[in-house]
Structure formats: C-alpha cells, structure tokens
Structure 1
Amino acid sequence: MENLNALRVFVRVAEVRNFAEAGRRLGLTASAVSKAILRLERDLGVRLLNRTTRRVGLTNDGLEFFERCRQILVDVEAAEMRLAHTTAIPRGRLRIHMPVGFARRVVLPVLAELMDEHPDLLIDVELGERNVDLAEEGMDAVIRFGDLPNSGLLARRLCGVRFVACAAPAYLQRHGIPQTPDDLNAHSCIGYATRWSGHYREWRFAAEGGSGSKNVSGRLNINNVEAMFDAAVAGHGVAMLATYIVCDAVRNGALQIVLKDHIAPATPIWVVYLPGRQNTPRVRWLLETLQNIISSSPPWDNII
C-alpha cells in the first residue's frame, strides 16, 4: 500500500456499507471508491467486501481487517494531533541580531523572562550595528532601523523612535545651551564612530519638509551607544541618542534634551526575516513576542 488513503477509504465504506455514501463523505466519486477498494484487495490478496446490487457487506477477513484498520487510523490521528501540538511549540536554536541599546533597554529584559515558558528554546543574540546576511549566516531575524532596501526579505514594523541631542546639566551650565544645530560646532560632541569605516554617523535634525543631516564628531567618539550615554551623563559633551536610551535619565534630571525644535521625525524600527521563516514556530513566537513587547506608540517619546 502506498499510503493510508486506501485504509481510510476502506474504513469509511465498511462503516456506511455504501460506495456512493462513502464517496460523498470523502469527497470522491463512487467509481473512485470502488477502484480504491479493488486495488487494496489486490495488494492484500484477499477479498474484503461482498458486493451486491443493493448493499455492501464485510467478509470474515474484511471484518477482522476493518477492526485493525479503524484502530490504526485512530492511532495515526492521535499521533498527528500530538505532532501538530509539538511542532507549534517554539524549540531549537533561534538566532537574532539587534542593536546594542535597543536590545539592552527594550527587548532582552522581557525576552529573558518569556523564555521560561519554553524550556526547549535556545536564543543566540548577537549585538551590534553591522549589516547581516540572513541567508548566508543562518540568522533567523535581525532588527534594523531606518528605511529598508529592496532585498526580497520580509519585514514587520515594530515602532518608531526619535533621536535627541542631550547633555548633562553641569556641562550645559559650563558651555551654554545650543539653540541651532550649527551651534554644535562650538561644543564638545560625542560622535558615534562607525566600525571599520572610520566615519561618524550623521545627526538628523528636522528640516522643512522632513529631515536633514549634519556631520558631527568631537574629541571623544565611541562605537557603542551605551558608552556614549555614560559619557554624556558624566558631562563629557552633547550626544545624539535614542529616546528609549535616555528617557529615564531625562526624567530624573541626569540629562537634558537640547534643540527640541529641531528633533527629526521618528525613525522606523523593523524586524526583518527570510521568506518562509515566519511559519516556523520559533520565528513566529519571536514576531509575536516583539509585537507584544513593543507598543506601536512607545512611551519613550513622552519625554519630548
């Protein structure tokens, strides 16, 4: 027998004792049902059914075979249901890449707690800002900021985030408060040093019709936003940081936002993944978890 379909056809016929009715319940024609039974009898080398013009009955061999087949199908159905339940549970290794600050401040504190619900799930988190080739590196997902290139990957928007220029109140008392982006030329700015390239990340400011950018760097430039945050709190200069990083420090007075009239529009945050991966239980769990963790209107921007 090639598969279980022939057994299913036989059991249905044995239950209703009618080819046409069995076919109706199975979505088959009476002729297809009859041919399936004939093939099954040929494969087994025994006659299973007695056929007359009015009814269908089981032979002795057919009766014994029917009882065994019915139990087999019950067991198969139970196994399929168990497998469906098992495969719906996130398990195995989940690899995800995300920016350092976003991971530490937003995702990881909650993600670690939710993992307790799935003891068979193992998560490898890589922190950084580099471009990740999901297919080549075997990564399941990556969190990215900004506009996405047309890459054939799938993406789900998580939220938007504002970036603000801020400094310690003690620094601003000594050096004054900048009123325009050009005033930053006279200040100590803590730039983000882009790894490998030797360049510094541009600071975005509101401009007519959207946003504009300014090349900003200073004597202290760092390639880690958490270290930039620490340097700003310590009074070493003005830093451009995401609101989810500085919100608590702004609320407790450790940092002060400057250039509030020049804050650029929100930058979108995405979770990006390969086509088809969203159907795997662990990636589906990740997407749903991130959507639950992160509000589409996050509270971080309330400090502006």
Structure 2
Amino acid sequence: MAKLPDLEALAIFAKVAETQSFSGAGEALGLSKATVSKAVSRLEERLGTTLLHRTSRRFALTETGRQLAARAAAMTAEAESAECEAMDQAVSPRGLVRLAAPMSFGMAYVAPALPEFLARHPDVSVDLHLSDEVIDLVGGGFDCALRIAALPDSSLTARRLRAVRRCIVASPSYLAQRGRPVRPEDLERHSCLGYAYLPTANSWRLTNVVTGEEATVRLNGPLRANNADALTHSVLAGLGIAEQPDFIHWKDVAEGRLEPILTDWNLPAISLHLVSPGGGGPRPARVSALMDFLAARFAAPLWPGDKVE
C-alpha cells in the first residue's frame, strides 16, 4: 500500500523556498529552525533527491527543488483555501444540507415550510429525501432527519419536538353498514387496513386509558400500504378501518368525513423527533440553521385545534 504524501513536510518546504531561510520559515509557521530543517531532510530522504544546497552562507534550490516548491506552494494555497471555506461555512450558513423526512408529513408540512427557510438563508440549499423507511443517516450521507416513532437508544442525537397522536378511524358509511366496534376484539370482525412500517404491521396493540388493560388485535383487511396517506382514500370510501396520525386525519375528522372509534383505547405513544448523527464535533452553521428552523416550526401548532405536547 502506497504511503500518503508527507503534506506537512511539503508545506514547510514551500515556506522555506518562499522565505529563502530556515529561520524565516520557522518564524512564519511558528516552528523551531530545527523542526523546519528536519522536515526538509525527511522530505529529501523520502524523495531520494536533494532539494536545496545550504551552507552557513549560501542557500539555493536545486532544479528538482524549484519544481517541487512551486507545486508545494500551490498545494498549500489550495489547502488553506479549502480550510478557510470550511471554517466560513461553519460560522455562516452556506452550502448543502441533506434532510430526510417521512413521506406524508414531509409533503404536508416540511416541503411547504422550506421556501421560508431558503428565503432567510439564500446561500443554503436543501436536498430533501422523503420516505417512510428508516434512513441510515451516516451511510446515506444525511445531515439530519425528522422521524416519527418511539425512538430506540442509538448513536443518533435526537430532539423531541411534539407528540404525534394516533387514533383508529372509519367513515360514517362504513360504521352504518358494519357497525361500530366497542372493544378491541370487535375489530377482528371488521376490515382493518394496515400500515406496513408499524413495528407489528399485521396487528394493533391498544391500552385502555382508564384500566390499563392491554389488547392485541390481528388485522384482516383488503389493503396494506407503506404510506399512511395511501390508506386514506380507502377509509373515506368506506372500505375499512385504519389507524391514522393526527396530522393526516385531523381535517377529515373535523369535517365529519371520518369518525374516531375506540376512543377510550390508546395506541402506543410516538413522537416527532429531529435527529442527527452523534459526535463529530460542532455542526456546520447551515445544518444548525435548518434544524433550529424546523424545531421552531414543528414545536408550534400546525392546524386549527392542534395541541402540542
């Protein structure tokens, strides 16, 4: 395996060539003259050639030294420019932020919010990835993500923004035709539509809000989908019962197109979280700016009657 270039020695050599002096290079770089001399000697030994002739009175670059000095100086200038640009982005919001979000919540609330953020930060761009799958932030190269779940312990840094309430809903036409379930076990005689990304996609687990009694119901219905919005059309058409988060069903419930059922039973609690890869030092300013914006936006009410918890 080839060794990496000795970038430190190359940068020191470029400064020696620029100042025509070991002591001058040391002063400019904050290094001792001995350290500068050792770096140049190390570079000569690595390359197998003499880069400069030096005596107590004379200093001169060899032909190889002159060619290398020019390229080392260009390399050092490019590295300094890259470093300055990175530091500038760390202080001022600028550059690309890769954001992942659930499909339905992303379409309804994240995408409409981004124009305001981008207007505030014209030097920032956002790559928005919408999917209900759990995205590997590190492997996928994402800076942050919104997740709706009961988050397990992980290496991610998580910030809870709000509770996401879920309830079981059906259309008035379905209830008029098939009857209204009173207890969880009644659901086994009904057409229940499933969401594929639940921890238990083929069953619902409910807890009575008064007694704490728990019940698990196996689903039996004509449709399962990997997106909650995809179930809404079938529920509205009276084809079955579904569990839906409040940010999807609130308007249909408010306007009477859907009715909550089994309201004295709760589904497992979930929340909206803002997550980012853990560790690695301070975030770039562009990422912090977007995360702070999303946190402020989604910790506030999003629809009439919305109660943030």
* Counterpart position of 2:286: 282
Aligned to 2:42: none
Counterparts of 1:176 and 1:285 in 2: how far apart (Å)? 50
Indicate which of 261, 266, 269 corresponds to 2:269.
266
Moved more, 215-224 or 233-242: 215-224
Moved over 3 A (4+): 82-89, 207-215, 296-302
Whole-Å separation in 2 of the counterparts to 1:88 and 1:204:
47
Structure 1 equivalent of residue 161 of structure 2: 158
Distance 1:153 1:276, change over 3 A: same
Contact 2:101–2:129 (Cα < 8 Å) also in 1: yes
What's the secondary structure of 2:135's corresponding residue? coil
Deviation at residue 265 of structure 1 after TM alignment: 5.6
Q: Name the stretch that deviates more: 144-153 or 224-233.
A: 144-153
Please, which runs of 5 or more residues in structure 1 have no aligned partner? 5-79
Match of 1:144 among 138, 143, 147: 147
Residue 60 of structure 1 corresponds to none
Q: Give 1:88 shift.
A: 3.4
Match of 1:200 in 2: 201
Taking structure 2 as the reference length, the TM-score comes to: 0.64
1:2 partner amino acid = A
Give the whole-Å Cα distance in 2 for the aligned partners of 1:242 and 1:148: 16
Structure 2 equivalent of residue 186 of structure 1: 189
Partner of 2:222: 219
The aligned amino acid for 2:160 is R
TM-score, normalising length from structure 1? 0.65
The 3-state SS of whatever aligns with 2:207 is: strand
2:101 maps to which of 98, 104, 107: 98
Compute the displacement of 1:263 (Å).
2.3
- Between the aligned partners of 2:202 and 2:293, the Cα distance in structure 1 is 30
Q: Secondary structure at the match of 1:129?
A: coil
Task: Extract unaligned runs of 5+ from structure 2.
Answer: 1-26, 31-83
1:292 deviates by 1.0
Whether the aligned pair in 2 keeps the contact of 1:171 and 1:235 (CA below 8 Å) is yes
- Structure 1 residues 138 and 298: CA distance shift in structure 2, 3 A: same
| Other-structure match for 1:26 | none
Task: Give 1:156 deviation, angstroms.
Answer: 0.7
TM-aligned CA deviation for residue 121 of structure 1: 1.8
CA offsets 1:253-285 (integer angstroms, 9 cap, x no match): 111111111123631221111134762112211
Corresponding pairs, count: 225
Say whether the 8 Å CA contact 2:180–2:261 is kept in structure 1.
Answer: yes
Deviation string, structure 1 residues 123-168 (Cα, Å, up to 9, x no partner): 1222222232222221111222333333222111111111111011
| Partner AA of 1:292 in structure 2 | A
- Output the CA distance in 2 between the equivalents of 1:133 and 1:114: 25
SS class of match (2:28): coil
> For residue 237 of structure 1, what is the aligned residue in structure 2?
240
* One of 124, 128, 131 as aligned partner of 1:125: 128
